[in-house]
Structure 1
């Protein structure tokens, strides 16, 4: 494995067509950016080294006083500043960055050779500058750059030493024997090439480590993004906190459920979201002893006043060493599930009441029919005084009212006994609207508006029962507007092809208690009525596999929405035997 890694690293530092070295295998833009960073680092470090090193040497009196007619230290200081400014200008232009490297290395070789030649040649303390040139050549230009740099350093060094020993340069050191001279030149040349090889090896390893680090960094970033996507895509609300209860993560589902923005709740106490009671329960549990998640459900009031039933599951956030450092709180909006549960319980309750009601209604209806018939016979045969006639009328009227109550009771108890077939709802609603307009309870200050968004839609049902649903809801809406108002009836196609019908009034609305008992039998919000109208509506809708929902606010009216499923195609229904 290590051999493969080394081979891959070495292959990447082979010279390219434009620039040899490590950066040759990078794409054009990345290569230029890498070279630009190297050039900037080279410019700054060279300026610091030259100015600091030369001035320190001047203080130690190891430099000659003058270079011709110019002070030695001034010449090199000015040269360093001028070259640095020129290098910065070229770097800023971003033109041909690879050639800028070659230019700077060449200038450094010239300056170093000049410096060595004027500081006693073979005894010069600045010979080590050659080594620095070779090192950064290997780092920036790769293996070929390092070898070329080492060869140039060896040639220039041997040249300057030879010229000083031959007396061609008057400010050189005392002459030494040729054997010693050859040894020194060979020794330095060997050192130059050794540094070149070492620099090349280090540059390869450095680049391999850099690649591994970048790969690890990319992997970590990828995992972070993946984690963010997973957290954001979870449809459950997700909150993480530290031990003190400060929120550290608040995903998008949590924003939707709580109607709070993550920017508003991050770094704030979690009690503002889950409540003080649940937080106290969380703190009372020892996660090291009880590993089961803590579950809790309660109603929460949203910022707009709407109540939602939320279910929370709290788990400890543990580190590798089993140390607790926070909590994970997952929660869901269980409002619809809670309502469905209440609906199921209501259906079971109403079914039990219905079974009892059927027996009671029959026991009442039979003698009631006899009583009313006998009263009618007596009224027709006897000559009654005014007072007795009025009492007889009351008896007949109350018998009719009781008979109507029994009929409603039976309808509530046995809604599914009627045959069903294809029913066109728009025409059924038009008939209901016409009957309402001629109803004595409709006054001049009442307005009934029918707004069908479709011309026709058919469902499988019983027209008489559906008409009773429409009639009961319309009657309730009119009674909720004793001072007048508008009843708007709309019908449209649902997404699945079914029918969606709404009855919207501008009446008195309902209190919370009235809404909780809306479909309960014998609960009426009006002085008149049996309290069975909406219970019958609920039973009929359930028998038609439909749904009923409502929105109401005291003083702002009520909207009741009905959904009836689409009619199955004839071919599909005929296929079932």
Structure 2
């Protein structure tokens, strides 16, 4: 009740008391008792009003204590890096911390007393996520016990956060719903670290396997290649077979070379080269293969040479792997577009885009993993090597793809490296 109403009620009650007591004193109290009645009326009025004031003082102290506790609780939950939310038995929001309000873009919304489905009207981007929360809450109520699950919350910038969400239902003694406590911990960094660790372990296994096998393969491989070339010179009747054998031996040798690159650190000597020259050499090299697939290579480069500190052979291998993949994935009579640009912060960007079969989301997440390939005869090492080359040049590689639409690969590399020589680490972070 508001203060003005309380004061008004007090004045009306006091006025009624004065009028009523004066009326009784005048009409019903004997004159001999009038003096005693007046004193008693005054004492009774003091006791009643004093009791009322004492009651309100106690209530005010309780209210102040409650407000102080609420303030402490609000300070506590707002200092947490987790999403914390309290709801009543009907699923209406009672209290949420700043992290949760910012997460769902509800900072300027009077959220108290509203359900998730009602709050969805104030946050268009998170409308579906809020409605799903209401469904998830209902499932927790029905189970009648603490539930825990991982929820993926999309962000406006296109990324997403992973939350380990715990929901605690509270019930009255009669079994009716009392409230719900929701706590969501951001475990995105943890999951990314686990993924990197998994890839590192796989690459470590690749390194051990490569170191023990690659050299042993190359020794007999050299002998086989020499004998095949000798037979090819002496026998003119089976030239096609000999050429196929040499091609396959060269393919094995190429695979072994990729294994050796992953097996141990590689010393890099950076040199200054025009990136346009590297790309044009690669395009010329792959032009024949593009014609075989009936694919046209379009490129757009700046007229002025962009000088880049790099290991040219490694960058050639990088672009050969990526452009060749785009050609093989392209449809008949389609194009592979290659664009070169320069950013304001001193980095070059190379974009390779095709209109091919595209990559599914499941496969996109595994890009760069060793021995993982969508090709029938692929080894799964080409992109692993590509990731490693980009990493050794302090760059980044990003794949964007949509099934049956196409794939875009963006490589970003700084123009100037930190040192004139470096060592490629034996692990790669995709």
TM-score of the alignment, normalized to the shorter chain, above 0.5: yes
Instruction: Identify which of structures 1 and 2 has the higher relative contact order when contacts are C-alpha pairs closer than 8 Å and 6+ apart.
Output: 2
1:378-417 paired onto structure 2 within 5 Å:
379=232, 382=234, 384-385=235-236, 387-414=237-264, 416-417=265-266
1:479 corresponding residue in structure 2: 328
Cα separation, partners in 2 of 1:397 and 1:563, compared to 1, 3 Å: closer
Answer yes or no: is the 8 Å Cα contact 1:489–1:501 preserved in 2: yes
Tell which structure's C-alpha radius of gyration is larger: 1
For the aligned residues, what is the CA RMSD?
A: 5.7
2:380 corresponding residue in structure 1: 531
Once the two structures are TM-superposed, the CA of residue 317 in structure 1 deviates from its matched residue by: 5.2
CA deviation profile, 1:163-218 (whole Å, cap 9, x unmatched): xxxxxxxxxxxxx9xxx9xx97xx499849x93x8867876776676466445434
CA deviation profile, 1:362-418 (whole Å, cap 9, x unmatched): 1222232233334445555x4x53x3333333333333333222222222333x222
2:135 corresponding residue in structure 1: 272
1:300-311 paired onto structure 2 within 5 Å:
310-311=163-164
Separation (CA, whole Å) in 2 of partners of 1:502 and 1:126:
105
Answer yes or no: is the 8 Å Cα contact 2:141–2:169 preserved in 1: no
Give 3-state SS (helix, strand or coil) of 2:268's partner.
coil
1:337 corresponding residue in structure 2: 190
Cα separation, partners in 2 of 1:210 and 1:308, compared to 1, 3 Å: closer
Higher strand share: 2
Picking from 184, 204, 207, the partner of 1:351 is 204
Answer yes or no: is the 8 Å Cα contact 1:493–1:500 preserved in 2: no
1:169 corresponding residue in structure 2: none
Separation (CA, whole Å) in 2 of partners of 1:256 and 1:457:
44
Give 3-state SS (helix, strand or coil) of 2:84's partner.
strand
Separation (CA, whole Å) in 2 of partners of 1:41 and 1:207:
11
Separation (CA, whole Å) in 2 of partners of 1:269 and 1:213:
41
| TM-score normalized with structure 1 length | 0.49
Once the two structures are TM-superposed, the CA of residue 543 in structure 1 deviates from its matched residue by: 5.7
Separation (CA, whole Å) in 2 of partners of 1:566 and 1:219:
63
1:447 corresponding residue in structure 2: 298
Once the two structures are TM-superposed, the CA of residue 296 in structure 1 deviates from its matched residue by: 4.3
Please, which runs of 5 or more residues in structure 1 have no aligned partner? 1-32, 54-111, 117-121, 128-175, 284-293
Once the two structures are TM-superposed, the CA of residue 361 in structure 1 deviates from its matched residue by: 2.0
CA deviation profile, 1:270-328 (whole Å, cap 9, x unmatched): 6723795x777763xxxxxxxxxx674557697999997543445575999xx995553
Answer yes or no: is the 8 Å Cα contact 2:318–2:389 preserved in 1: yes
Once the two structures are TM-superposed, the CA of residue 239 in structure 1 deviates from its matched residue by: 4.7
1:13-24 paired onto structure 2 within 5 Å:
none
1:486-501 paired onto structure 2 within 5 Å:
486-487=337-338, 492=343
Number of corresponding residues: 387
Separation (CA, whole Å) in 1 of partners of 2:138 and 2:348:
41
2:428 corresponding residue in structure 1: none
Answer yes or no: is the 8 Å Cα contact 1:477–1:487 preserved in 2: no
| TM-score normalized with structure 2 length | 0.63
Give 3-state SS (helix, strand or coil) of 1:330's partner.
strand
Separation (CA, whole Å) in 1 of partners of 2:306 and 2:52:
77
Separation (CA, whole Å) in 2 of partners of 1:318 and 1:547:
52
Please, which runs of 5 or more residues in structure 2 have no aligned partner? 120-130, 423-430
Separation (CA, whole Å) in 1 of partners of 2:359 and 2:386:
18
Separation (CA, whole Å) in 2 of partners of 1:490 and 1:310:
37
2:426 corresponding residue in structure 1: none
Q: Are 1:220 and 2:66 counterparts?
A: yes
